[in-house]
Amino acid sequence: MKKLFFVLVIFSSFNLFSQDRITGEMFSTRSEVISQNGMVATSHPLASQIGVDVLQNGGNAIDAAIAANAALGLMEPTGNGIGGDLFAIVWIENEKKLYGLNASGRSPEDLSLEYFKENDFKSIPAYGPLPVSVPGCVDGWFELHEKFGKIKMRDILSPTIKYAEDGFPVSELVSYYMKNASNNFKEYPNFKETYYINDSTPKKGQIFKNPDLAKTLRVIAKKGKKGFYEGEVANSIANFIQDQGGFLSYDDLKNHKSEWIDPVSTNYRGYDVWELPPNGQGIAALQILNLLEAYDIKSMGFGSAQYIHHFVEAKKIAFADRAKYYADMDFNKIPVEYLISKEYADIRRKEISSENAAKRVLPGNIENGDTIYLTTADSEGNMVSLIQSNYRGMGSGMIPTGLGFMLQDRGELFSLDQNHFNVYAPKKRPFHTIIPAFITKDGNPFVSFGLMGGAMQPQGHAQIVINIVDFEMNLQEAGDAPRIRHQSDQQPTGGNMTDGGELALESGFDYKQVRELMKKGHKIIYDLGSFGGYQAIMIDYINKVYYGASESRKDGNAIGY
């Protein structure tokens, strides 16, 4: 009997502890990656490896970011590609300075608001030729490369060209999203020719090739940005869109130019959190953090009803302002500095009840005048935070004949309300969901990070910062932790929340806390939709190493050397 008891005790101990992590939070999927010389974190392992190869072959973080982005356009076309836009925040170590790049494209010059009104459009369509704006990605690559790159563009693009010609195995999530996308796009011109293997999109593990994209990238590698925005490629894009009934022209492409801009920041408990100003939504994360800074988040505890409640109420306020004010700053005087000020946060915080969920939140009365994320770091201390997307996963459905990529549909995010900041106008940049982020401390880089996923992005950015700063999670734990996503009618095309919206919580939150949230008036929904895709790199100046983390909800990884 004693022997049997001894065996049971050992067996019970094994059951209790064999599947738990020995270190860190129990929800963490893996340890951080640690390296001395460089790091690349992307949502696809082959793209991460390409980035590291570029670093090892003499390239810097900027070269590696471009190379990884090019690879993702081939290997994860469900989230990005050269038919989309790009934003980046770059830390240059020898200057001790952050640079911001807005490489988003503008609407067609020949398409007017009156066209939509005369043809009785209530909103801009999600698919087809009308939501297509100028793709800014390629120009963004060359702006980054001309300013900071080290090796030749042909060497940066050659790994992706080779994979496009020889093929690569399609990963599990990409296969899933491509199959879903085919439901929308299978009858569109050139979709099957570009993305099908036999009679369907690629299955997991099948070898996929895109020789048309390889040809387009070869032109870009040889002729530079003019190889895309002028000449044969530009003519093919413009002619195809106009044949489909759209308005994007050769001159729209030829006249496109990215813009170097200054990132903006707020200080959260001693850490400077940096985002890019509108036409993106990054400052919503800064507004959320400003509103929450006055609360003792740490003592509330991660996953508590009190923390989740206050987070959601702060988000509602930030998104009310997002719905009204975030738009192309060339067309509007946006009060960015005031929106992200502590003074404004103090005023709006008075609207937050600790006990009841707000049903209706209006924007402040201020006087005015599916996506990929990647991050890289090199041995010199340079770091890149880069995000790039087509919108709605693959984009508009418009695939110019023989070019191997789909054009974005960002124009869908314009409003047709002539009194709205984000109203459609020719040669205007639409509201953008994609946002890179960066954290510095005491004037030095700390974390380069981002989290893809539409309106989830600023919510996710704020949660990552809070997880690191308030809850003292490591870089991987901060991304693995269960996430909060609130959704409502507070949209950049117009609309105010009137019913409190809906709150989706990832699995891992205590149901007792969920019940407490319901008592406060939150409408909890069960939703398997996107909670974002995270990548991050942190620099440790004491040990002189980089830490890398990668999203457990995606196929990717962080690789160091």
DSSP, res 49: H
For residue 75, the surrounding DSSP H or E stretch is helix 61-75
CA distances from 140 to 67, 144, 250, 287 (A): 13, 6, 18, 27
Instruction: Enter the tokens of residue 101.
Output: 């790049």
Q: What is the rounded CA–CA span in Å between residue 547 and residue 31? A: 10
The vertex-37 CA angle with 36 and 43, nearest 5°, equals 95
Q: What are phi and psi of 253, to 5 degrees?
A: -70, -50
Instruction: Of 180, 134, 189, 185, give the one whose Cα is nearest residue 409.
Output: 134
User: Which strand ranges, in their side-by-side order, compose the sheet holding 545-550?
Assistant: 33-35, 545-550, 533-540, 444-452, 437-441, 271-275, 264-268
How far, in Å, CA of 29 to CA of 375, rounded?
Answer: 20
Asked if 75 contacts 67 with a C-beta cutoff of 8 angstroms, the reply is no
> CA-CA distance, 434 to 454, in Å (whole number)?
7
266 in catalytic set? no
Q: Which one of 371, 376, 433, 493 is the catalytic residue?
A: 371
Give DSSP secondary structure letters for 3-27: HHHHHHHHHHHHHHHTTS-SSS-TT
Known catalytic residues?
371
